[in-house]
Amino acid sequence: MFDTEERNVVTVNIFGQEYTISGGMSRDAIMKVADYVNSKMTEIGGESSLPASRVAILSAMDITGELFEEQKNHKENERYQQMWEEVKASYIKARDDLNAAAAQKDDLIRQNGEKDQQLANLYNELAEVKKHNETLRGRVEELTNSLEYQQSLPDQSAKKIEELEAKCRDIESSFFDIQMENIRLKNENETLKKQRY
């Protein structure tokens, strides 16, 4: 099987030795890595007479330590990134909750306004009912007075009937007296007639 990935071949100088490097990285990236390794070996080897293999091992240890530190920092950055995402999510949730609370507050204000309007309408209706009750109370008083008057009529009628009955008795008595007087006069008239003849 052939490797289809394009590979770059670069000749570099590391700690006084030339090396031919072949890799999938770009030419510039390979040279940058080689320059870093060279600077690290030069920094560690310096003017010392340490063999290149020892300098290479010490440089590899140093670079690996930097890598581990970078990985640690990267993990911390990831942790901070995760914390940031959590804080951002919390902020978004708090903002959404705040917006929901504001909407709920607006809804409550609207409902309170509607209830105030309903209460005002009820007060108006109560005023109308009170006014109607006053009218009904006046009508009830009128009917009560009328009923009392109607109830008093039989007593007044009975009194008038008694008065009329008394007058009738007086008239009957007078009529009887008149009849008796009329009979007396007739008798006198008959007596006078007999005396004349």
Burial annotation 19-37 (CB, 10 A radius, 16+ → b, else e)? eebeeeeeeeebbebbeeb
Which residue has 């920094």 as its token pair?
Answer: 43
Where residue 197 falls among pLDDT bands split at 50, 70, 90?
Answer: low
Which range, 53-67, 74-88, 182-196, is most confident? Answer: 53-67
In Å, how far from its chain's centre is CA 51? 82
Structure tokens at 106: 């607006």
Q: Is the pLDDT of residue 110 over 50?
A: yes
pLDDT of residue 9: 93
**Range 71-97 average pLDDT:** 89
Residues ≥6 apart with Cβ < 8 Å to 29: none
* Number of alpha carbons in the 13 Å side-chain half-sphere of residue 184: 6
**Range 43-55 average pLDDT:** 87
pLDDT of residue 39: 94
Q: Is the pLDDT of residue 57 over 70?
A: yes
Residues ≥6 apart with Cβ < 8 Å to 7: 22, 23, 24
Where residue 79 falls among pLDDT bands split at 50, 70, 90?
Answer: confident
Give 41: exposed, middle or buried? Use CB within 10 Å, 0-12, 13-18, 19+: buried
Angle (CA) 152 158 162, round 5°:
150
- Count other Cβ atoms within 10 Å, centred on residue 45: 19
How far is it, in rounded angstroms, from Cα 116 to Cα 14?
Answer: 87
Higher-scoring residue by pLDDT: 193, 5: 193
For residue range 151-196, list pLDDT tens digits in order: 776 777 778 888 888 888 888 888 888 988 889 898 888 888 788 7
pLDDT of residue 92: 92
**Amino acid letter for position 123:** Y
